[in-house]
A and B are shown apart, each in its own frame.
Chain A
Amino acid sequence: MFKTLGKATKISVLSIWFVFTIFPLYWMFLTSIRPVREVTKKFYYPHANSTLDSYRTLFKQYAFGTYIKNSFVVSFAASAFVIFIGMLGAYALARYKFKGKSQIMLVFLITQMIPGLIALAPLYLLLSKVHLLNTLFALILCYVGGMVPFATIMLRGFLQRIPPELDEAALIDGCNRFTALFRVVFPVALPGIAATFIFAFVQCWNELFLAMVLIDSDANKTFPVAERSFIGAYYIEWGGLAASVMIGIIPTVVMFGLMSKFMISGLSAGIVKG
């Protein structure tokens, strides 16, 4: 009897959490397909007069195509770049023994304690000195800089699990350290690299405050910053906001959904045991 009771509890707990998780997004979806005049009405299921008007507004009235493209460029470039830099550092930390290694690890680990927000003002001033304000490049640089420690630590965890004999063999076959790393180790470490890449991509895609401070011109806005254009002082355009939220969550949800199973082993190997 206890067994069935336990099973019933399990099923109800899992169901409740499922509904709780999904409901806000379901509600946002319903809001996004309501006619603009009826956006505040509370139908709990798609209604006969559902419309895609709110979605059309995004691309007609607002330049959401541009914002999403900007977000893609920034997130993709920053993630790719941080993987490259991180792989180099991780390789040194995983394969060499040298004086100061634990100090360098500490330099990376301490950064996890530093509130990223305190960098807003200094980086604004720094980037304005080198005339990079208002460029996507500035954003890419900042994101790469901010993510280097976590990427390096995480990738180090993966590299440590690859036998050193592998790159040793590559060296004997005439590779140098650099080509051994990218031609031989890289493919073997690919699952871990993919996990790190997705983790980085999601962070960049969702970053708001740096993008808000560093980018001023409409043409270079990223997606989360553009969300703010729906919010007026006294009024929020909920239809457009809902539609843009639905579109804006697609890339990371798809990426994550495809990989979620293996993210568990990936993330834990990199972070917890790293």
Chain B
Amino acid sequence: MAASVHKLVRKDGKKSHNILAPLWFLLPALILVAIFIYYPVFATANMSFKNYKLFDQSNIFYNGFENFRGIFKDLHFHRIIQNTVLWVSVSLFFQFFIGFGLALYLKPKFKFSGLYQGIIFIPWALSGFLMGLVWKWIFDDNLGVLNDMMLKAHLISTPIPWLSNANWAMAAVIIANIWYGVTFFVIMILAALQGVPNEILEAAELDGCGKAKSLFLVIIPYIRPTLILIVLLRIIWITNFPDIIFGMTSGGPNEQTHILSSWLVQKITYDQDWGSGSALGLLMLGVLFIFTIFYLLATRLEEDSEG
């Protein structure tokens, strides 16, 4: 390859002679990203203004904002928005704080801490859909082990309708999601904690900081940029994660446990209403985009005013 004659960029930042060399290396990645990620965005945007039903292919035409209107007018729209906000905020809250707590406990090595970590990290390696099915089996109103245990422990006198009552079902899917997602925070926060230099902690101790004080005054400010980033990544990820709901309730009973992304899956796979599904996807993309910008601005502003 001709690139071999060109000099490497050194740490002092000397420029490479050939602009094309790095582009050749990047070309395969860029082509794939263009075809499999960006093209679908444009195709979705286009399709969202069409009447496009997979089972009625002879009847495809542009219908303006009809799909969007249909979404806003949908009987379950408000409930789904409510669910999405609950799903994201409650899951995130518990995942973050449980994950943070566990990471603090796991930072100092103890006997079997490697084994312990290996085991509690397992959910991360599992399929959200499969685990949705597993939790469905546990939460089952009549056959589920959870009701059985609670009855035997005399915590309840009649079985809780975990999956047949909309509000209980929403609680159930969120519990499953917390179970599933804590691992991510433990891994990320543990890694961040391990990056805090020991000298700083020792200096804080010398200055008379207790454990709690050094946590809030030293550790948290130090890992703050990491925390901000992983919380953002996680909010986006949880929003786009219908797998558990799909496995546990498929949005039921009576569409009452759908979030935006599981509703999207339903529109694409079951209803085969691709126009409406695309419109929903475009809305989600827009909301996430705006949210990300505000989030980054807000955290940046806060940092500026502090510094």
Contacts and interface: CB of A to CB of B under 8 A. Distances in A.
A binds B: yes
B40 A118 contact: yes
Given A40-B143, A114-B41, A227-B129, 16 more contacts: A27-B137, A89-B26, A89-B30, A96-B9, A97-B13, A118-B44, A118-B278, A126-B39, A141-B36, A171-B4, A227-B133, A242-B137, A267-B188, A267-B191, A268-B188, A268-B192
Nearest to A228: B129
A148 B29 contact: yes
B96 to A, nearest CB: 15
B248 to A, nearest CB: 12
Given A113-B292, A117-B261, A177-B21, A272 B125 contact: no
B126 A177 contact: no
B118 A260 contact: yes
21 contacts: A17-B102, A18-B116, A18-B119, A27-B145, A92-B21, A92-B23, A97-B13, A97-B15, A115-B285, A117-B240, A117-B242, A117-B264, A118-B281, A119-B44, A121-B43, A121-B268, A177-B3, A227-B130, A238-B137, A260-B114, A267-B191
Interface string B256-294: 000001001100110000100110011011001100100
Interface stretch (B75-83, B199-207, B225-233): B225-233
B34 to A, nearest CB: 9
A10 B105 contact: yes
Contacts of A255: 125
Q: Report, as a range, how many residues of chain A touch the other chain.
A: 35 or more
Interface string B9-24: 1110111100101111
A119 B265 CA distance: 11
B36 A142 contact: yes
Nearest to B226: A272
A47 B87 CA distance: 38
Interface in A167-222: 167-168, 171, 175-178, 202, 205-206, 208-209, 212-213
A58 to B, nearest CB: 14
A37 interface: no
A177 B98 CA distance: 46
Contact of A202 (B38, B125, B130, B240): B125
A178 B25 CA distance: 9
A88 interface: yes
B187 A148 contact: no
B3 A176 contact: yes
Contacts of A13: 101-102, 105
Given A40-B143, A85-B28, A126-B39, A249 B16 contact: no
Interface of A: 10, 13-14, 17-18, 20-22, 24-25, 27-28, 31, 40, 42, 85-86, 88-89, 91-93, 95-99, 101, 104, 107-108, 111-123, 125-126, 141-142, 144-146, 148-149, 152, 164, 167-168, 171, 175-178, 202, 205-206, 208-209, 212-213, 224, 227, 231, 238, 241-242, 245, 248-249, 252-253, 255-257, 260-261, 263-265, 267-268, 271-272
Nearest to A223: B127
A167 to B, nearest CB: 7
A96 B16 contact: yes
**Interface class of chain A by DSSP:** helix
Given A42-B145, A98-B19, A171-B4, A113 B288 contact: yes
Contact of A18 (B26, B120, B289): B120
A128 to B, nearest CB: 11
